[in-house]
């Protein structure tokens, strides 16, 4: 769907043959990279069930394929994920910058931003100025929303995809907290509450309508389309969540994935 600051491709996947367009994304935030294998494992299980004509949790998936056109962007922030997992890149200028922005440390486990030190989930034109007002004004590991909305190639790619695809609903997968944020400024439609209650039922997560936060991807989607948008905070603990939590998180998320397709 586009390229990152460092020129890495941002893959997008499309599966399905239906009229209803649903979107999942993961790894907006670098140290929340566990969301990528969670989403990809669901994709694998979904494709296997279609191929083998089998069910997931008693639900046959061919009807989901026929009614839903699913878009997945499994890693919005490839440069940031690489930074968290593998440390700073070889490019001397970039390396010097990210270490400086990280207070001189080469431990990037707390890094959420892209390689420019911009928090990609503070980049969308949905009360962006309010978020900027209270957040850092210079690049860093988290919460710096850039000098203007949609300044970064990764957030531009996501905005372009969303405008082009005209999604019925979007789910952005983050960590952590076991909560699902589903409102923005009272602009969400009534069906958002019905959907989030179903997500909560199958996952055990807590629905939270409003949170003192702006300029996120789901905020912008709700604001501009007046359709259901959700930020799903998977798992509990300190980011990055350990891979040892993978199975537990996947079992909690699986119901959300399925409901998002068939509801």
3-state secondary structure of 163: helix
Spatial contact of 208 and 179, defined as CB atoms under 8 Å apart: yes
Length of the chain: 263
C-beta neighbour count of 166 within 10 angstroms: 9
Q: Counting Cβ atoms within 10 Å, is residue 35 exposed (0-12), middle (13-18) or buried (19+)?
A: buried
Spatial contact of 113 and 30, defined as CB atoms under 8 Å apart: yes
- 127: annotated active-site residue: no
How far apart are alpha carbons 51 and 209 in whole angstroms?
38
- 9: annotated active-site residue: no
| Active-site hit among 65, 69, 205, 214 | 214
| Residues that are catalytic | 214, 233
């Amino acid at each position: 769907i586009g390229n990152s600051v460092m020129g890495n491709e941002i893959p997008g996947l499309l599966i399905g043959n239906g009229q209803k367009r649903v979107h999942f994304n993961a790894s907006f935030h670098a140290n929340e990279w566990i969301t990528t294998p969670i989403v990809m494992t669901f994709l694998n299980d979904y494709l296997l069930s279609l191929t083998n004509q089998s069910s997931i949790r008693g639900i046959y998936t061919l009807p989901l394929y026929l009614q839903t056109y699913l878009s997945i962007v499994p890693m919005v922030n490839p440069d940031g994920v690489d930074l968290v997992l593998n440390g700073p890149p070889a490019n001397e200028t970039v390396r010097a910058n990210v270490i400086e922005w990280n207070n001189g440390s080469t431990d990037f486990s707390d890094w959420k931003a892209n390689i420019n030190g911009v928090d990609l989930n503070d980049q969308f034109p949905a009360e962006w100025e309010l978020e900027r007002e209270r957040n850092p004004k210079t690049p860093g590991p988290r919460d710096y929303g850039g000098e203007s909305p949609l300044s970064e190639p990764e957030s531009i790619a996501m905005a372009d995809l969303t405008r082009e695809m005209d999604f019925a609903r979007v789910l952005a997968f983050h960590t952590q907290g076991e909560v699902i944020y589903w409102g923005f400024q009272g602009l969400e439609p009534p069906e958002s509450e019905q959907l989030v209650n179903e997500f909560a039922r199958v996952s055990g997560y807590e629905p939270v309508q409003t949170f003192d936060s702006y300029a996120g991807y789901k905020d912008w989607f709700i604001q501009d389309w007046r359709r259901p948008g959700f930020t799903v905070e998977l798992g509990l603990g300190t980011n990055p969540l350990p891979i040892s939590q993978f199975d537990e998180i996947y079992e909690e998320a699986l119901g959300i994935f399925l409901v998002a397709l068939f509801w």
